[in-house]
């Protein structure tokens, strides 16, 4: 019987039978409508029952997914706006750090106070502060983001050396600094207006819009704080007259209003920054200074800095900290908005992904439902025809046909299942025999039916013949490679192993160690007690060598009284110790002869090499052989000396 092997390539290469082989129609498989395909009425029913509700649900889900996607986009846009506001606020803080020393130096020059003296009195190195702050803020891209700011930046940079050289009046420095401040503030408010517009488009849930309004109040408070710092210094130094008094009173009122309005609407970072302003030592100290300035402006307190310049320096240092913390409040509020918007964007993203996954799952389930419904409505003979075609092509690894449908179909399906099972078993047994895998469990499984039983008998005989041939081959291989007396590797086998082992170790860069062992006195033992005693000595030596070696070492007999041991890499690193163990192991052995125990001894030679391209296996054997003869000569010389010393006694 010819059996086809279940090979995918075979199936793809199989030629479709010619028309005259398959019937008058010339088709090897039934047509869709005639062989169990979907009838148009069935397809229409599936569309009405399954696909229409699916489409309606998909449309609703797509609208929801679109809304989630738009919300995500809007949230990310708002987060970007908040980031920009934080960047501009930072630039505003950097400008403050530059304008403060610039105005202080210009003011000192206007009243003819040496700058080193003013720096000493104020405890501030004004020139160093100016240079450091200008080098920091001048590289900020915000100052080059608009034509107005670029011009302000260039003018301010050009003004610095003139301030150093006392070539520019204080009023001009103040006017330019004030213009620079207002231009930065205009940029911040423009970006804030864009944020508000994007928030209105987004319409975020919760109190997000209240936090947006609180952010504007924090910036208003920051600007009012700047006017408080400047006004307090001027009023308490009794400078700038009524204008300074009006400025601090208005700034203090604005600051109080703004800070009162944003309480309860700050995010976590902004709330922490505001708490720091309320409790920080420098901020509390300067808040007291502002109160003193307000009292002086109202005429109920003195201008205390006119009599204490040192106090002016302390107040200015605390004022810079106060203004920096207010700016940090603005940046913290922007960061809170950014984090909240990003969280909303992440939530919208998860909603979008969930809706898309739901939509995909809905489509998959709908298609699956349509397919299942179609299969339940189509003729079961379609599967039967397909199975018959596969068996015809030699494919037997098939799922069994279900026992469902009309009684005639069930009977036919059962017959096909039995036939496919028998052919599959025959195929598996044939493949196992072809690979001579006689231990394959498939060979032990009986085949159904009388034909199967007959085939099983033939398979069992073939398997037995293969096992017998394999046993003979193994016996012949063992005889060809092992010594008949000791069952060790023989000369050819141990040399072949050494050659391959050196090649392997050469690639691995390992050390190879070879021991050449010679049984001492074998000829004398044979001559005195006979070859049986000599053979016993050889067997005892081989047992001793196997006992002293490790499983990774390989022991072979070269012939006569000579043995060769190839040490593995680990033992090769301790080759001398291994050689001593071999000699000691043989020395512990003895053989009985004529009522006596004849002790055994052996001479061991060692050859050791780091494997490389120049390592010759046979040269290693020769070196070990020479080392063995040297050891034998040394042992003989020692024995002769002992005999010579014991002779006169």
Which range is least confidently modeled, 254-263, 282-291, 548-557? 282-291
pLDDT number for residue 14: 40
Q: What is the pLDDT of residues 268-314, one digit of tens each?
A: 988 898 998 888 887 888 788 888 778 877 888 777 766 665 666 66
Across the range 548-555, mean pLDDT stands at 90
Which residue has better confidence, 132 or 596?
Answer: 596
Across the range 215-228, mean pLDDT stands at 84
In sequence order, what are the residues at sequence separation of 6 or more whose Cβ sits closer than 8 angstroms to the Cβ of residue 59?
none
User: CA of 530: how far to CAs of 85, 518, 540, 600, in Å?
Assistant: 109, 19, 16, 16
Q: What is the pLDDT of residues 488-516, one digit of tens each?
A: 999 999 999 999 998 998 888 888 899 99
pLDDT number for residue 38: 53
Q: Does position 625 have pLDDT exceeding 90, yes or no?
A: yes
Nearest to 68 by CA among 364, 342, 356: 356
Across the range 330-348, mean pLDDT stands at 81
pTM, to two decimals? 0.48
Q: Does position 8 have pLDDT exceeding 70, yes or no?
A: no
The architecture that CATH gives domain 488-643 is: 2-Layer Sandwich (3.30)
3-state helix, strand, coil in the chain (%, to 5): 75, 5, 20
Please report, rounded to a whole number, the percentage of residues in the chain having pLDDT higher than 70: 72
Helix (H, G, I), strand (E, B) or coil at 344: helix
Torsion of CA 330, 331, 332, 335, to 10 degrees: 130
Which residue has better confidence, 593 or 479?
Answer: 593
Q: Does position 416 have pLDDT exceeding 50, yes or no?
A: yes
| Model confidence band, residue 43 (pLDDT cutoffs 50, 70, 90) | low
The CA distance from 68 to 205, in Å, is: 13
The CA distance from 213 to 217, in Å, is: 7
| Model confidence band, residue 11 (pLDDT cutoffs 50, 70, 90) | very low
User: CA of 284: how far to CAs of 57, 83, 601, in Å?
Assistant: 62, 29, 99
Outline where DSSP puts E strands in 469-618: 511-519, 554-559, 562-567, 590-593, 596-599, 602-610
Helix (H, G, I), strand (E, B) or coil at 642: helix
The CA distance from 367 to 486, in Å, is: 74
pLDDT number for residue 28: 41
Across the range 554-575, mean pLDDT stands at 89
pLDDT number for residue 536: 93
Q: What is the pLDDT of residues 596-610, one digit of tens each?
A: 899 999 999 999 888
Across the range 76-90, mean pLDDT stands at 86
Across the range 420-435, mean pLDDT stands at 66
| Model confidence band, residue 397 (pLDDT cutoffs 50, 70, 90) | low
The CA distance from 224 to 422, in Å, is: 95
Tell me which range, 31-40, 71-80, 425-434, is most confidently predicted by mean pLDDT. Answer: 71-80
Across the range 32-49, mean pLDDT stands at 55
Q: Does position 65 have pLDDT exceeding 80, yes or no?
A: no
Are 542 and 557 in contact by the 8 Å Cβ rule? The answer is: yes
Residue with tokens 């018959």: 388
pLDDT number for residue 159: 82
pLDDT number for residue 22: 41
């Amino acid at each position: 019987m010819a059996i086809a092997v279940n090979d995918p390539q075979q199936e793809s290469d199989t030629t479709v039978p010619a028309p005259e082989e398959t019937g008058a129609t010339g088709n090897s498989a039934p047509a869709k409508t005639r062989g169990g395909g979907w009838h148009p009425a069935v397809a229409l029913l599936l569309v009405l029952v399954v696909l229409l509700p699916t489409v309606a649900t998909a449309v609703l889900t797509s609208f929801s997914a679109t809304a989630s996607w738009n919300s995500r986009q809007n949230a990310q846009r708002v987060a970007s706006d908040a980031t920009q506001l934080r960047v501009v606020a930072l630039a505003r803080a950097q400008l403050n750090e530059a304008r403060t020393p610039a105005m202080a130096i210009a003011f000192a020059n206007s009243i003819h106070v040496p700058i080193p003296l003013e720096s000493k009195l104020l405890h501030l190195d004004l020139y160093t502060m100016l240079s450091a702050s200008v080098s920091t803020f001048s590289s900020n891209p915000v100052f080059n983001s608009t034509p107005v700011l670029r011009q302000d930046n260039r003018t301010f940079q050009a003004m610095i050396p003139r301030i150093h050289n006392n070539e520019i009046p204080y009023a001009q420095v103040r006017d330019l600094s004030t213009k620079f401040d207002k231009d930065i503030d205009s940029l911040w408010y423009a970006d804030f207006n864009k944020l508000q517009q994007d928030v209105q488009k987004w319409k975020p849930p919760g109190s997000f819009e209240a936090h947006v309004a609180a952010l504007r109040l924090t910036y208003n408070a920051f600007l009012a704080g700047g006017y408080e710092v400047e006004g307090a210094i001027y009023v308490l130094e009794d400078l700038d007259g009524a204008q300074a008094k009006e400025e601090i009173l208005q700034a203090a009122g604005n600051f109080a209003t703004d800070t009162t309005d944003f309480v309860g609407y700050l995010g976590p970072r902004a709330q922490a920054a505001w708490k720091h302003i309320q409790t920080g030592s420098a901020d509390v100290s300067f808040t007291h200074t502002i109160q003193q300035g307000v009292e002086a402006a109202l005429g109920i307190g003195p201008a205390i800095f006119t009599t204490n310049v040192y106090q002016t320096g302390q107040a200015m240092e605390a004022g810079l900290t106060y203004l920096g913390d207010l700016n940090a409040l603005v940046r913290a509020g922007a960061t809170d908005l950014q984090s909240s918007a990003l969280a909303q964007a992440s939530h919208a993203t998860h909603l979008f992904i969930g809706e898309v996954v739901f939509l995909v799952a809905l489509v998959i389930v709908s298609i699956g439902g349509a397919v299942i419904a179609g299969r339940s409505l189509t003729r079961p003979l379609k599967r039967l025809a397909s199975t018959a075609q596969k068996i015809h092509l030699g494919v037997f690894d098939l799922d069994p046909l279900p026992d469902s449908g009309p009684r005639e179909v069930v009977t036919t399906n059962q017959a096909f299942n039995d036939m496919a099972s028998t052919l599959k078993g025959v195929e598996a047994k044939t493949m196992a025999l072809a690979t001579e895998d006689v231990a394959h469990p498939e060979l032990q499984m009986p085949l159904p039916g009388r034909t199967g039983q007959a085939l099983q008998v033939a398979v069992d005989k073939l398997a037995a013949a293969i096992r017998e041939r394999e046993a003979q081959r193994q016996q012949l291989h063992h005889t060809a490679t092992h010594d008949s007396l000791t069952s060790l590797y023989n000369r050819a086998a141990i040399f072949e192993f050494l050659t391959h082992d050196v090649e392997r170790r050469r690639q691995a860069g390992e050390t190879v160690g070879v021991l050449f062992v010679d049984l001492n006195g074998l000829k004398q033992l044979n001559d005195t007690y006979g070859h049986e005693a000599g053979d016993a000595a050889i067997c005892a030596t081989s047992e001793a060598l196997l006992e002293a070696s490790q499983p990774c070492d390989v022991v072979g007999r070269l012939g006569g009284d000579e043995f060769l041991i190839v040490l593995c890499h680990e033992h090769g690193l301790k080759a001398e110790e291994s050689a001593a163990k071999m000699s000691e192991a043989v020395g512990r052995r003895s053989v009985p002869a004529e009522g006596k125990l004849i002790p055994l001894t052996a001479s061991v030679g060692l050859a050791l090499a780091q494997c490389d391209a120049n390592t010759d296996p046979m040269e290693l054997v020769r070196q070990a052989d020479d080392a063995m003869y040297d050891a034998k000569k040394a042992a003989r010389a020692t024995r002769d000396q002992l005999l010579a010393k014991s002779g006169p006694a």
